[in-house]
Amino acid sequence: MNGALQLRIADMSAEAHDVMRLELVDARGQSLPAFEPGAHLALTLPNGAVRQYSLLNDWRERDRYVLGVGRVRGGRGGSECVHAELRPGMLLHSAAPVNHFALRPDATRYLFIAGGIGITPILSMIRWCHAMDKPWQLVYAARNRSRLAFYEDLVPHRERVHLHCDDEAACPLPVARLMADAPADAEVYCCGPAPLMEAVRDSASPVPAAARHFEWFSAPVAGEAPASADGFWIDLRRSGQSLQVPPELSILEVLERHGHDVPFSCRDGVCGTCETGVCEGEIDHRDYVYSEAQREGLRSMLICVSRARSPRLVLDL
């Protein structure tokens, strides 16, 4: 991986029900690469899986990375590996921090909406807002109080934090009302389960769509765009190959079938690991990393889900 790091687990602790806190340091005792609020690490786990976890500590710290990992029972094995196999002192490899959920620094005010383990990228943003004396509020929802991770980190800011527990309120977070009452000049940052983020995205609100930002853990179930009936071709600039991508396969799958070792993780267009440069052609972006505004003029694509609008794409491979 580019910018590969060797990290040692300095500490582990339980933060809430099914939530583990990991503190990572450089294995050689050196300073770690800087990161910005909203950034994540792509960790290679002992079972070979590569998984993305948000950095939740202060962006100014260079001596450690702190992560929160929620256990997903019946998931793809990454979180189970973290909870069952990782121990203090173990070594892990990671790429340098990447940020697809960047905080806009010039906003008038910030509204953070977190669900469950979605609090992790929000915590680093809150620390930045506090240091920069920026107006902010947090709405943090969980099924019950036992699942409110990193509660102690929020106690000093209790006047800016609204906690919602589904069991105590006898209902899920009323997102429609929350968004209807949100200030029009707020930048909204949301991370959590897909139903929560879809509700924030789709609710009527004075907050424009361009000011609503999301960090997806998994792709929404609905809304998949239809594939081209005839597929398309990809030309690989560096290798000189030309390959056809049929409607039923992704670019990533076609490359794998022809022996290309391309980095990937989620296969759902939410992590950005498989991002690949595009030299020529019109891209049909279908990922959940980049907003519509960011896609304009973007000359790269996530090849696990995105496709071509033109008959051919020339990839930087």
Q: What is the pLDDT of residues 2-21, one digit of tens each?
A: 458 999 999 999 999 999 99
Strand partners, 9: 24
pLDDT along the chain (317 residues), means of 10: 81 95 97 97 92 96 97 83 96 94 96 97 98 98 96 95 97 97 98 94 96 86 54 94 95 96 88 93 93 88 95 96
Distance CA 93, CA 276 (A): 22
**Sequence-separated contacts (24+) of 237-245 with Cβ below 8 Å:** 237/279, 237/314, 237/315, 237/316, 237/317, 238/316, 238/317, 239/317, 245/307, 245/308
pLDDT of amino acid 229: 56
Residue count of the chain, please give it. Answer: 317
Q: Same CATH topology for 5-94 and 232-315?
A: no
**Residue percentage of the chain with pLDDT more than 90:** 83
- What tokens were used for 17? 């029900």
pLDDT of amino acid 1: 41
CATH of 5-94, one of 1.10.3330.10, 3.30.70.20, 2.40.30.10, 1.10.150.120: 2.40.30.10
**Which CATH number is 109-215 given?**
3.40.50.80
CATH of 232-315, one of 3.40.50.2000, 2.30.30.110, 3.10.20.30, 3.30.1360.170: 3.10.20.30
Distance CA 283, CA 92 (A): 35
Domain ranges of the chain: 5-94, 109-215, 232-315
pLDDT of amino acid 264: 87
> What's the pTM value of the predicted model, to 2 decimals?
0.82
pLDDT digits (tens, 9 = 90+) for 235-280: 999 999 999 999 999 999 999 999 999 888 889 898 888 999 999 9
pLDDT of amino acid 2: 44
DSSP string, the chain: -TT-EEEEEEEEEEEETTEEEEEEEETTSPPPPP--TT-EEEEEPTTS-EEEEEB-S-TT--S-EEEEEE--TTSSSHHHHHHHH--TT-EEEEPPPB-SSPPPTT-SEEEEEEEGGGHHHHHHHHHHHHHHT--EEEEEEESSGGG-TTHHHHGGGGGGEEEEEHHHHTS---HHHHHHTS-TTEEEEEES-HHHHHHHHHS--SS-GGGEEEE-SS--SS-PPPPPTT-EEEEETTT--EEEE-TTS-HHHHHHHTT-----S-SSSSS-TTEEEEEES-EE---SSS-HHHHTT--EEETTT-EESSSEEEE--
